[in-house]
Structure 1
Amino acid sequence: MNHIPAQHPDPDDQALDEAYRKTAWRVMPLLMVCFLVAYLDRVNVGFAKLQMLDDLAFSEAVYGLGAGIFFIGYLMFEVPSNIALHRFGARRWIARIMVTWGLLSAAMMFVQTPWSFYALRFLIGVAEAGFFPGIIFYLTTWFPGHRRGVMVALFICALPISNLLGSLISGYIMQYMNGVAGYAGWQWLFVIEGLPAVFLGMAVFCLLRDRIADASWLSEAEKRGMQAAIDRDNQGKQGHSVREGLLNPKIWLLGAVYFCLVMGQYIISFWMPTIIRNSGIDQPWVIGLLSAIPFAAAAVAMVLVGRSSDRHHEYRWHVAICATLGAAGVLFGTLLGDNLWLAMIGLTVGTAAMISSLPVFWGMPTAVVGGAAAAAGIALINSMGNVAGFFATIVVGWMTQLTGSTQAAMYMMAAVLVMGGALGLCVPKARLDLRSAAPVAAAQRP
C-alpha cells in the first residue's frame, strides 16, 4: 500500500492519501481473509473428490454435476443478492452470506447420496450468491477509479493464496485425519474449512462499515474529501438504475469475456489434483504440495501484471495476453502429462497467467457504470462467470468419464481462453482509461 509521491504534492492531497491509506489497512485485510475462506470453501470439493468418490461410489459424472450445481444456485440469486447489498448495506449482507455458507459447507460432511450432494451444493451456491460482486461494488463506494485498481488486485490476491494454502491444508487433512473419530478425511475437510466462515461473518458485522460517513477512523475533513472523490468519479458513468446496468451492451460483452476466463480458472481449480494424481502421484499431501506451486506463482504474477497494467494505463491487451499464455501453458501441461515435472511447468505457467487476468479484467466494468447500475452490472458479469463454472464442471466430468482422460476437456478450455482474450480486445478502449483525467491522483494512490 505504498505510494509514489508527486513532485509537488498539495497538502490537501497528502491528507487524502493518508485517509485512503488508513481505510485500506482497516478494510482490505478483513475482505482478503473473507475471500480466501470463501474460495477455499468453494473449491475444496476438488480435494474431497479424491476420497469421497470411492467412499460413496459416485461416478465422475455425479461429481461433475454436484460440483457444477453450486453455480445454478449462485446464478439464480446473484443479482438479487447484490441489489439487496446495495439496499441493506454491506456489513449486514456480507455477514449473512458468510454465516450461512459456512454452516452449509460444514454440513457437506453428512453427504451420503448423490441427491444430498446435489442439494447441499445448490444451497451453498444460494447462500454465497453475491459475495464476490458485492465486494467489488463495495470497493466502488470507498475508492475512486484511479485508486481502486490496487484495491481490487489486493482483494483478488486472496484467490491464488487460497488455492495455495487450501492445497497444503486440504492434502494434510485428507491424509492425516482420515479415520479420526470414525470420520473420513474428506468429511473433516468440509468441517475444518467451513466453520471459519461463520466466525468471519461475525467479524464482518462488528468491524465493517457501510459508508464513508460511518468510518470512525476518519476525521470529518477526510470523510468529506473521500466522498467528494467518489462523487466526481461517478460523474459521466452510464446509468445509475438497476435496469440500465442489466441492459448495457458493454456489460454483456464484458460478461462474455469473464465467462471464458472463469471457465479456465474453475477447470484448473477443480481438476488440478486429479491431473497431478494421473501423473503418478498417489499421496494426498504430496498432491496438495504440488497443487500449491502453480498458485504460489500466480500470487506473484498477478501483482506484476497488475503493476504493468497500471503503469501502461491499459487493460485489454493484458487480459488477452494472459488468457493466451494460460491456454498455451495448459496445453503444454496436458500434452506432457505423463512427465510430472514438465506437466507442472505447463500447469504453473498456465495457472499463473490465467489468474493474473482477473484483477486486470475487473478494472473494466467499474469504468462503465455507477450507482445501482454498477451493483447490478457487476453481479450480471459475475453471474455469467458462474454459468461458465457450471458448464465447465458438467462438461469436464462428462468428457472425462466418456474418454477416460482429462485431455479433451483441457483442449476445450484452451480454446475458450483464447476466445476470451480475443473478446477482451473488442471492449472499447476509450471507456477504460480511468487515469487520463487524474494523472496526479494516480501517482498518489495508496
Structure 2
Amino acid sequence: MWGIVVCLMPAVRDYKEFWALRFILGLSQSCFYPGMIFLFGSWYTKVELGTRIMIFGAGNELSGAVGGLISGLIADTMDGVAGLRSWKWLFIIEGLLAVVLGLVGYVLLPDFFHNTTWLTQEEQTLAKSRVQNQGVNVISTVYSWKTVTNTLATPYLWLMVINVTLVGLSQNYLRNLVIILRDLGFPVSFCNYMLTPVYLFSALAAIFIGWSSDKKEGDRAFHIASVQLWIGTWYMILGVVNGGNNPVMLVFIGAYAISINTSMGTFCMAWLNEFYEADHNARSFGIAFVNSIRQITGSLVNVKAWIVSDSPEFCKF
C-alpha cells in the first residue's frame, strides 16, 4: 500500500489530491515502525535487543545513503525522460522498490512463535522459552481500557515521550542538510550525494551503540544520556559560531557529529520495550503512543522552526 501510494504521487494535480494521498500514505506508514519495534521486543532478549534493533534502525540511515545517491542520479540523468520531471521519477522508482520489498517481507517476516509457519515446533518452543526466561510476557490477551489507562498512568511512559520527542527534534539538521548545502551554493545533485557518506557513518555508529549497550548487559540509560549530551554540545556550537552563519567545513563536520543521533529514537524504543516486558498489551500500546507523539511533534516543529526561506542559517534572532 505504501509503495503504491508513493507511485501515485506524480499524478497529483492540485493540493486536494496531494493532501488526500499524503493522508493515505500516513495511514499505511503509521503501523510499520511501531510494529517492527514491538516484533523485535517479542523475539530477542535484553542482551540481544540493542544490537538487533539498531541494525534495523541503521536501515533508515542506509535508506538515506542510498536515497541520496538515487536522488542525485535521477536528477542528473532522468529529467525529461518520457516527459516527466526528475522528481516524478524519484517517486515512481522508490515506490516500486517499496512494493517489491513489501511483498518479500510478507513472506519472510515472522509473526509470533505459535503461528510462524516456517518454524518447526521445536524452534517455536525454544524461541518462546528464551524470552520468557528474561521476564518477557508473550501471551496475548484481550485489550481493555484498563490496559490503556494503567499504561498512561505510568511515569516511564511520559518520561520516554519527552525523551524520544527531543531526540526526534534534534534530527532536523540532517533532514534539512540538502537545503542548507544548496543555499550555500552547491549544486542540487552534489547536495544529495553528500547525504550518502553521512548516513553510512550514522549507520555504523548506530550498530556500535546497540552492540555496546548489549555488552553492558542492556545498559540503555548511559548510552542515551551520552549521545544526547554530545548532540546538545554540537547544536550549541553550530548556533553560537558566527551567529549561526557557519563556515562550510563546520557544516560538514556538524553533519557527521549530529548523525550519530539519527537512530537514537529507535534505541529509546528498545528501552521502552523493556519497561513493559511483563505486559504484552501495555508494551504494544506504549510503543505506538510514544511513536505517535514523536512523529506529530517533530512534523509540527519542523514546519515552524526550519522554514526554507531561513536557510542556510535558520537563525531566529
Count of residues paired in the alignment: 305
Quickly say closer, same or farther: Cα 1:147–1:312, change in 2 above 3 A.
Answer: closer
Equivalents in 2 of 1:405, 1:216: separation in Å? 52
The answer to whether 1:389 aligns with 2:293 is no
The answer to whether 1:311 aligns with 2:311 is no
Q: How does 1:230-241 map to 2 (within 5 A)?
A: 230-234=131-135
Quickly say closer, same or farther: Cα 1:206–1:400, change in 2 above 3 A.
Answer: closer
Q: Which amino acid aligns with 1:366?
A: N
In structure 2, the residue matched to 1:254 is 160
Deviations 1:374-411 (A, max 9, x none): 111100111111122222322135x444x5654237x9
Q: How does 1:291-440 map to 2 (within 5 A)?
A: 291-313=195-217, 314-333=219-238, 335=241, 339-352=247-260, 354-369=261-276, 370-397=279-306, 399-401=307-309, 403=310, 405-408=312-315
Equivalents in 1 of 2:42, 2:9: separation in Å? 35
Q: TM-score, normalised by structure 2?
A: 0.86
Q: How far has the Cα of 1:269 moved from its partner?
A: 4.4
Unaligned runs of 5+ in 1: 1-99, 412-446
Unaligned runs of 5+ in 2: none
Aligned to 1:233, the other structure's residue is in SS state coil
Quickly say closer, same or farther: Cα 1:323–1:112, change in 2 above 3 A.
Answer: farther
Instruction: Give identity over the alignment, percent.
Output: 25
Which of 49, 62, 72 does residue 161 from structure 1 map onto? 62
Q: How far has the Cα of 1:140 moved from its partner?
A: 2.2
Which of 81, 85, 104 does residue 5 from structure 2 map onto? 104
Q: How far has the Cα of 1:312 moved from its partner?
A: 3.0
The answer to whether 1:210 aligns with 2:111 is yes
Q: Is the 8 A contact 1:279 1:339 kept in 2?
A: no
Quickly say closer, same or farther: Cα 1:216–1:381, change in 2 above 3 A.
Answer: same
In structure 2, the residue matched to 1:38 is none
Q: How far has the Cα of 1:219 moved from its partner?
A: 4.1
Quickly say closer, same or farther: Cα 1:257–1:278, change in 2 above 3 A.
Answer: same
Q: Is the 8 A contact 1:137 1:378 kept in 2?
A: yes
Moved over 6 A (4+): none
Q: How far has the Cα of 1:179 moved from its partner?
A: 0.9
Equivalents in 2 of 1:337, 1:162: separation in Å? 29
Equivalents in 1 of 2:198, 2:237: separation in Å? 14
In structure 2, the residue matched to 1:276 is 181
Q: Which amino acid aligns with 1:381?
A: V
Q: Is the 8 A contact 2:6 2:25 kept in 1?
A: yes
Q: How does 1:132-147 map to 2 (within 5 A)?
A: 132-147=33-48
Q: Which amino acid aligns with 2:293?
A: M
Quickly say closer, same or farther: Cα 1:292–1:216, change in 2 above 3 A.
Answer: same
Q: What is the CA RMSD across the aligned residues, in angstroms?
A: 2.6
In structure 1, the residue matched to 2:49 is 148
Q: TM-score, normalised by structure 1?
A: 0.63
Quickly say closer, same or farther: Cα 1:330–1:171, change in 2 above 3 A.
Answer: farther
Q: Which amino acid aligns with 1:342?
A: L
Q: Which amino acid aligns with 2:230?
A: L
More relative contact order in 1 or in 2 (CA 8 Å, sep 6+)?
A: 2
Deviations 1:66-123 (A, max 9, x none): xxxxxxxxxxxxxxxxxxxxxxxxxxxxxxxxxx111111111123433333332222
